[in-house]
Amino acid sequence: MTAVLPDVGDVLDGRYQLLRDLGRGAAGAVFEARHLFTGRIVAVKMVMPRYRGANIPELRARLQREGRALATVHHPGVVEILDAGVTLDGSPFLVMELLQGRTLEGLITARGRLPIPSSVAVALQICDALDAVHKAGIVHRDVKPSNIVVLKSFGGHEVAKLVDFGIARLDQPSEDKLTARGAILGTPAYLAPEHLLQQDSEPHPASDVYSVGVTLYECIAGALPYSGNLGKILLSVAKEGPPSSISSFVHDIPQALAAVIDRSIAKSRADRYQTARELAAALEAAVPGEQPRIALLGPPPVPEDATADQRRRLLRAPYNTPVRITFGDSGIDGRTEDISERGVLVLSFVDLAPTNRVGLRFALPMDGKIAAVEADVRWVRHSDNPRSAGMRAIGLEFVAPPAELQSSVGRYVELMSDQ
């Protein structure tokens, strides 16, 4: 008998109604959901492998491990787990706070390079989160821009949160090893050399330090220390030795900051900062004065003489949901990054140019209904980073958007702007 996979509209465990698809990977899916009794909007993550032949027991074990890791750490820089349960077929699911922000990956793709103060501020906040994670006996093992979400707190300040503990390692006696010998876990471009070259199988806080250093390097330089496919990265790490100093890419970077970044991505673990706290202290010393703040989500400038209707139409808010893009006879998937009544920012591999017109299908905020609309391409930014393998940030303007779309987006943006 074929298992019926949960989908939008279904209710899990009699409590969580799935509202819209937030994204799917090779092993699982994440949905926006509403708790039927409290009305709280949450994110639900579950095992839903895309490919046949997936090791379902291992995937379920990893999801359960992720739940235990998140339940162990209580820190504002780590996504919060709220609940857990099982589906009808016995597969576990996790319930987490819903983060409406932009991934650091999306920000880098759209802008190329990020301002140094904001980049350092992100790194400091992630170091603070990792300090709590490491003190709880956990190594994340997959720190990278796509697992860092920038969002606004209720106080209006921008904050960075660390997500996806799916391959985290818990230092607990009851934990079984789930990784087969010789397997590489994590994303090669951000993976510490000792693990990439399989010289040390035991995760260490310094491994996460390396990943933070690479992420900070990418934010400021718009490039990676090592890039390409797995084989090329392995060859570069093994043969070329230490990566080039970030100062060779960014000439206006303070030398003290460049030295900290270079040390954080040292090839030898012994030459690196050993803890996230050590890296944070070095960053603070390299950037003296008032601690930098994240400023990456600011709204576009609004003319002082703009009418209330014009101001409302110019407002935008972070919004993440899968989108289907049709162009000619082809269709390709992408994801939205932010949205306004006038248009949407999309990340995708589709090859488009300004003046192209495309069709879009995506779930609306607030109610999750699927909207279909045409849109004109206003700008396209190709990432200069080989890691993205052709990822593009695409600015799209809606053509004659239906009233339902404008109403749903308008209410959502106003709600987000009030936070």
Res. 43: pLDDT tops 50: yes
Q: What is the CATH architecture assignment of 11-97?
A: 2-Layer Sandwich (3.30)
pLDDT tens track for 314-338: 688 899 999 999 998 888 899 999 9
Res. 250: pLDDT tops 60: yes
What is this structure's pTM? 0.89
pLDDT tens track for 147-170: 999 998 877 789 999 999 988 888
Active-site residues: which are they? Answer: 142
CA distances from 58 to 23, 61, 90, 164 (A): 21, 5, 14, 16
**180-189: long-range pairs with CB below 8 Å, 24+:** 184/230, 185/141, 185/142, 186/141, 186/142, 186/211, 187/142, 187/144, 188/230, 188/233, 188/234, 189/144, 189/214, 189/224, 189/226, 189/227, 189/233, 189/387
Instruction: Please state which of the four CATH numbers 1.10.510.10, 1.10.220.110, 3.40.50.720, 3.90.1150.10 is assigned to the domain occupying 102-286.
Output: 1.10.510.10
Max CA separation in the chain (angstroms): 65
Tell me how crowded residue 29 is: count the other CB atoms within 10 A of its CB: 21
Query: Are 409 and 339 a contacting pair, CB within 8 Å?
Result: yes
What is the predicted pLDDT for the residue at 1?
41
Query: Are 411 and 361 a contacting pair, CB within 8 Å?
Result: no
Kindly give the pairing relationship between strand 370-382 and strand 357-363. Answer: antiparallel
Which residues, in sequence order, are CB contacts of 68 under 8 Å at separation 6+? 170
Query: Are 79 and 190 a contacting pair, CB within 8 Å?
Result: no
Domain ranges of the chain: 11-97, 102-286, 308-417
User: What CATH number labels 308-417?
Assistant: 2.40.10.220
